[in-house]
Structure 1
Amino acid sequence: MAGRPAAHPEVLCSLQPGRTSEVIMKPPHHVALLLFFCTSLLLCALTPVKAIIWREAEALVNWKASLADADESLGSWSIANSTSLCRWTHITCNSARHIRELDLTDATLNGTLDDFDFSAFPHLDKLTLCNNSLYGTIPAGIGNLTSLVVLQIVSNPSLRGAIPRSIWQLKHLTVLELVHLGLDDTLPEEVGNLTILEELDLGSVTLTGSIPLTMGMLMKLRFLSLEGNNLTGSIPLEIGNMTELQEMHFSDNYLEGQLPGTTTHLRKLQDLFLSDNQLGGHIVPKLGNSSHLDTVAIAHNNFTGPFPSSICIGGALRIIIAGYNGFTSLHRHIFQNCTALQSVDFTANNIVADLKDCFGEHLGLPRTMVFSQNHLYGTLLTDRGEAFFCNYTNLNILDLSNNALYGGLSKCFWDLKRLALVDLSSNSFSGVVPFSRTCEDRLYYLHLANNHFEGTFPLGLEKCKNLITLDLGGNNFSGTIPSWVSKSFPRLKFLRLSSNMFDGTIPHQILQFRHLQLLDLSKNKFIGSIPDDFTNFTGMVHEQTNIDFIDADHYMHIEQIQIVWKNADHVYIIMRAGMAGIDLSGNSLSQEIPNGLTTLLGLRYLNLSGNHLSGSVPRDIGNLVLLEALDLSQNQLSGEIPPSFVDLKSMSTLNLSSNGLSGRIPMGSQLQTLVDPSIYSNNPGLCGFPLKDCELINVDRKWNNPCRR
């Protein structure tokens, strides 16, 4: 060591802090002073950087330790691994090795933010907490993230309380997303402080109160969503100041008043979502001023008057969802420039118009056309006998139900390659359903009910192999049900042929439908016995849950079918929890009720009334534990009500009247709630609650017998 040269100053300054003790040879006094000076400078230069990095690591590790259950992906977060901070999961660093982004999307963080030291991250410009199982509140300390540009706290519904006011002081924010949280707050005027904000999403966080006028100060905003809250009051005029706005989502609130005229200033607007509010009045005539307007969704409001004729002036409009309002008319040239239009829904308005005015010659290739529950009139056929929209080869949904349309149909219906749903029910269509040798595979749902169609069961349907719903009820169809129905419709779930003039026996092939959940053959002229082999009716053996709906370019169309449910006409929404039922009422069926019916454990209603059925009620009827409605009235049934009746614990509607039943009515907790005696009337031999007590009946019989006086 004696021969080791003295260290030069530049060498000494390059030593790492805390490592000077490694120098073995004691330097001369002047060199020691120089070493101390250089080391001090080095510590002053490096320690703040290292200290900040150390503090960032320590803050994350301490927060992780406070969580009740941390995700496995946080395994790299440890003090021992702090020198590799920038390689920790969910972290992105800047060039100076400070944490710039913290993205914890889908990481399980079962805990709170209370112990998160926000002040330890002065360089953080993006924080994402999405789908993490966080609870508690958002601490006010979040305002210490003074460099924050993007803040996203999404899908943590157990985060409650107020939005910290400190968030509105983060003036570098360009993106603020607080979505699907359990917050309980109003939207304060301070929101106007965020003047460089480009995206603001406060959807489904239970905001109350009104939209502040200062919202108009966000003049760089491109995306605005306040949907799914409890906001009240009107949409402020100042909304028109946000001239960069491309998307406005205000659906699912309690907003009222008119759509402000300043909306026409939003010339870059692409998507306008106002559905499910209480907005009213006339729509701004120049709503279509934006040449970029793509989607207008204003359903379930109180808008009235004519629908604005300029809606397609920009030529870009694809989707109009305007159902459940009070619109009264459509200008005959309203769709003149709608060359891009794909989906149209005016369900349940008061529109009076010739159908042809709703299908302009310049209309594009629409996928969804829904005009149900209006006052449309006219015919579908042109002078050449073809339907005028049969050139719409992209048509996916056609719903013209509940109008005043008339005339016949064209066979081109079966040739539209993308057509999935046709609903022409509740009009005045007539004639024979035309025959076609083809039926495209995408036709799933066909509703022709409540018209004046005639002839035999439509032969053109034999090729419709993928039908799920077939509703021909309420027409003048006649003849027998063809034996090929179950083979041709292997996916069928809902078959309704009620209120026609079908006759003959019920073919045994009808029991081959493996997925059938609804069979309605009521009010026809069927004779003979009810087929007995229900082993293939697997769709009714178990409780059903339906998720059937039509999705055309992200627009969901809800399918409905009319049934008689608990003695009343009921419009059943098919996509709800599964309904399994059989209705054979109002025919001339005879012989006994088949025992096989008691194996259909998923049945919720069974109606065999108004026939000539005889024999006894099946003794295993109590197996149908989900049965809510049972009607066996107006038959010739005899014998006692089987004891298993007490097992029908879901029963709320019952009718056994006008038969020849006798004996004591079984006692059961659910049966005791059925207190109307008329459900057992015209069965002279029945006794017990809610009819007369059986003992009193016996006394009356003895007294009225002259041989026993």
Structure 2
Amino acid sequence: MVFGQLHQPLQLDAHQLQLAGHVTGLDLTDTSLNGTLDRFDCSAFPHLENLTMSQNGLYGTIPEGIGNLTSLVRLDINYNLYLSGAIPRSIGQLKHLVVLRLVDLGLDGTLPEEIGNMTSLEVLTLSSVTLTGSIPLTIGMLVKLRELFLGYNNLTGSIPPEIGNMTELQELYFSHNYLEGQLPGTLSRLIKLQDVYLSENQLGGHTVPELGNSSLLRTVDIHMNNFSGMFPSSICVGGALSYLTAAYNGFTGIHQQTFRNCTNLQYVDFTANKIVADLRDCFGEHSRQLKMMAFSQNQLYGSILADEGETFPCNYTLLQFLDLSNNALDGSLSKCLWDMPSLEFMDLSSNSFAGVVPFSRTCEDTLSYLHLANNHFTGTFPLALKKCKNLITLDLGGNSFSGTIPSWISKSLPGLRFLRLSSNLFDGILPHQILNFHKLQLLDLSKNKLTGPVPDDFTNFTGMVHEESSNDEVEYEEQIQIVWKNVDYAYTTTITGIVGIDLSGNFLAQEIPGGLTTLLGLRYLNLSGNHLSGFIPEDIGKLLLESLDLSRNQLSGEIPPSFAGLKSISALNLSSNGLSGRIPTSNQLQTLVDPSIYSNNLGLCGFPLEDCVSSETLMQSETSQAEDREKLWLYCFVAAGFVFGFWGILFFRSETWRCAFYQHVHNLQRKVTKKIYSCMSCFRANGNE
């Protein structure tokens, strides 16, 4: 008799269930089952063969009595996050068990050695159960095992060589642990292996060539380890390999024969290694199935296209993703790159490519992400891009492009969300058409030679108007280098909520347009290093700005009181302008304690600069100065009367003495007059202040 699936809340209690001793199957999947698993009376089900309790709210521990279910063939206890404790050693008594799945539980402890007694096991899945310790050597006794999943745990130590005894093994999954050491040579015995996942561990040394001994091998994922040396040449011995990622390791090279038999290879990723190679020697006609090729952050050299007759990579008609950024590639590009029928993502940034971007009459509709930044490209804005109407990201920063920004850019590239043209030689005025993008979230035109005013009509910038950025799905994770919060920042475009404009380091003039304050979703704004004048827009405090840089301009007037409304501001620079008045205060502005962000504004006062002089203090100072002036005048008149009176008396005495004294008084009078004039000038200056 098989007990059917229950769909009502119940406590797992043998007395409540009132089940007969002849039950062979119990499926309680997703039945809102709650309570402690300790209450499960295993002795009530002597003939139970299949037990499933997945996706419930069970807590407590797996009972030691689980070993009494000696007839069990299948045991599934998945997605019960509140289960705790260790896997009981009695589980080794289930010698007829074929399938054991414990996934996403709150267990801890080690994998018991008794696991080796379950010699009938064909599927063992213990993923995300927080196992610790090393993999027991007894695991090699599971010679019938086809699938072994121990990923997403905290396992340590090395992979035991006894694993080579599992000659039936097809799937091996040890990812996301802390395993270390070299791969055991016994892996060469696993000739039925199809999928190997060893990523995100601390495995190192040279990968054994025997890893590719299986002619059935389809998937190899060893990214984020410490492997080094040459990548083995036997990985495609059977030609079945379709997925290979060895990113974030220390491989130094690839044998020229490594991919010769990889006729089914679709995805290859060697990002962030130390590979010194010319890819044309590694790939050729045999790689026509490639859909993804990622070799960023290596030491690749040579040209990807020596001449128009080259087949790499333009003849890979299925290629969707090409990332060769951060290498030492050089030469020029070929127009065939725009004609690749499946290409969606191309990143050739941070190399030594040079010359003019070639013109092509076509650009395939699939191309959505294009990065050519940090090379040595010259010429005007690439006319070939006029046909790339489905571009989402365009990054041409860090080159030597010149001329004006074309007026057709928003009309021909209506879907752009990220546009970066910084650190080039573009000149002329900003075309008003630049503000016709409806989806744009990032506009970076910094460090060019742009002149004239900033256009004022931002009504079409709907991608920046809303507080929430676009929810359109971004298929590929990519990075764009921007200056965010006054530091270089690698902006990952899959992150929502970062919306910004950077026009810094140009020759833009006139006032900051008030239309900028309509972009309510703006998170960072950088207009520094221009010739902007006039006042800061009054409504700027309505924005959600986290970073604002208006430094090194000719702005004047007071900082608008609305600044107090910038509740998310964490990076601010208003230095080197002509601003005056009191700095607004708010809880958030008070966290910006660095006085340099307001420096070189002679008229500014208030926190974090010196306190402003209050009107009451100023009136008292003026009153005191007036009284001092009156006293000085009185003293001056008294002194003058005394001098002239005394001189009159002496005037009638001896003529010789009178003449000498007259000259002395005359000199004294001149000195007093100069002193009075100097004092009056000083008081007059203080009064004007």
Question: Which of the numbers 328, 345, 355 marks the counterpart of 2:252?
Answer: 328
Matched, 1:180 2:104: yes
SS in 2 for 1:251: coil
In the alignment, is the contact (CA less than 8 A) between 1:463 and 1:488 conserved in 2? yes
Residue aligned with 2:301, SS: strand
1:554 aligned residue: none
- AA of the residue aligned to 1:166: S
2:480 alignment partner, SS class: strand
CA separation of 1:312 and 1:155: change in aligned 2, threshold 3 A: same
Paired residue for 2:525? Answer: 606
Q: Secondary structure at the match of 2:319?
A: coil
Who is 1:519 aligned against?
Answer: 443
The alignment yields a C-alpha RMSD, in angstroms, of 2.7
Q: If you compute each CA radius of gyration, which structure gives the higher value, 1 or 2?
A: 2
Aligned residue in 2 for 1:133: 57
- The one-letter code of the counterpart of 1:610 is G
C-alpha distance after superposition, 1:443-473 (max 9, x if no partner)? 1111011111122221222222221111111
Q: Which residue of 2 aligns with 1:276?
A: 200
1:300 corresponds, among 215, 224, 228, to 224
Q: In the alignment, does 2:395 pair up with 1:395?
A: no
Matched residues in 2 for 1:545 and 1:134: separation?
40
Counterpart residue type for residue 227 of structure 2: F
Identity within the alignment, %: 70
C-alpha contact 2:288 2:317 (8 A) present in aligned 1: no
Deviation per CA, 1:472-491: give whole Å up to 9, x if none. 11111122222222222222
Indicate if the aligned counterparts of 1:387 and 1:409 stay in contact, CA closer than 8 A. Answer: no
- The structure that is strand-richer by fraction is 1
Amino acid corresponding to residue 516 of structure 1 in structure 2: L
Alpha-carbon spacing, 1:675–1:333, altered in 2? closer, same or farther (3 Å):
same
Kept in 1, the 8 Å contact 2:439–2:470? The answer is no
Ranges in structure 2 where 5+ consecutive residues have no aligned partner: 626-681
CA contact (8 A) 1:532 1:596 kept: yes
- Post-superposition Cα deviations, 1:358-395, rounded to whole Å, max 9, x if no partner, equal 32343342111000000000012234465622111110
Deviation at 1:337, TM superposition (A): 1.1
**Cα separation, partners in 2 of 1:292 and 1:708, compared to 1, 3 Å:** same
> 1:75-123, CA deviations, whole angstroms, 9 ceiling, x for partnerless residues?
xx999xx9xx9xxxxxxxxxx9954333333333244434433333333
Match of 1:66 among 2, 7, 11: 11
Equivalent residue, structure 2, for 1:90: none
Q: Could you give the per-residue CA deviations for residues 579-631 of structure 1, whole angstroms, max 9, x where no partner exists?
A: 21111111111121122222222222110101111111112111123x21110
Q: String of CA shifts for 1:175-227, please: whole Å, max 9, x gaps.
A: 11111111112111111111111111111111111111111111111111111
For the residues of structure 1 that align with 2:12 and 2:511, how far apart are their CA atoms? 67
Kindly provide the CA deviation profile for residues 29-71 of structure 1, in whole angstroms up to 9, marking residues without a partner as x.
Answer: xxxxxxxxxxxxxxxxxxxxxxx99xx79x989x954379xxx
Distance in 2 separating the partners of 1:168 and 1:527: 78
| Aligned AA (1:707) | A
- Determine the C-alpha separation between the residues in 1 that align with 2:460 and 2:184: 59
Return closer, same or farther for 1:194/1:607 CA change in 2, 3 Å cut-off: same
* Structure 1 position 323, deviation (Å): 0.8
Match of 1:105 in 2: 29
Match of 1:583 in 2: 502
* Distance in 2 between residues matched to 1:130 and 1:350, nearest whole Å: 45
User: Does residue 195 of structure 1 match 2:100?
Assistant: no
Go from structure 1 to structure 2 and tell me whether the alpha carbon gap of 1:60 and 1:132 turns closer, same or farther (over 3 Å shift): closer
Deviations 1:649-668 (A, max 9, x none): 22111110011100111111
Matching of residues 543-622 of structure 1 within 5 Å:
543-544=468-469, 548-550=473-475, 558-622=477-541
2:574/2:598 contact within 8 Å kept: yes
Note if 1:351 corresponds to 2:275.
Answer: yes
| SS of structure 2 residue aligned to 1:352 | coil
Match of 2:578 among 635, 640, 660: 660
Alpha-carbon separation, structure 2, partners of 1:388 and 1:66: 64
For residue 542 of structure 1, what is the amino acid of its counterpart? Answer: E
CA distance in 2, matches of 1:414, 1:368: 17
1:689 match: 607
- SS at 1:639 equivalent: strand
1-structure distance, mates of 2:470, 2:248: 27
2:46 to 122, 128, 138: 122
Structure 1 residues 570 and 547, CA, compared in 2 at 3 Å: closer, same or farther?
Answer: farther
TM-score by structure 2 length? 0.86
What displacement does 1:545 show?
6.9
Q: Which moved more, 1:634-643 or 1:142-151?
A: 142-151
Cα offset, 1:238, TM superposition? 0.9
Over 3 Å counting, the alpha-carbon distance change for 1:673 and 1:343 in structure 2 is: same
SS in 2 for 1:262: helix
Map of 1:429-448 to 2, 5 A cutoff?
A: 429-448=353-372
Instruction: Give distance in 1, aligned partners of 2:53 and 2:457.
Output: 57
Name the amino acid aligned to 1:544: S
Q: Secondary structure at the match of 2:229?
A: strand
What do the CA deviations read for 1:382-418 (whole angstroms, capped 9, x no partner)? Answer: 3446562211111010000000001111111122111
Distance 1:513 1:168 in 2: 65
* Alignment correspondent of 2:389: 465
- Equivalenced residue count is 624
Q: Which amino acid aligns with 1:489?
A: L
For 2:636, the equivalent position in structure 1 comes to none
Q: Deviations over 1:145-180 (max 9, x none)?
A: 322111112222222222233323211111111111
For residue 669 of structure 1, the aligned residue among 581, 587, 591 is 587
- Partner Cα distance (2:384, 2:268) in 1: 28
Name which of 436, 442, 456 aligns with 1:532. 456
- Pair 1:488–1:78, CA change in 2 (3 A): farther
Summarize deviations over 1:105-142 as a string: whole Å, max 9, x none: 33332444344333333332222222223333333333
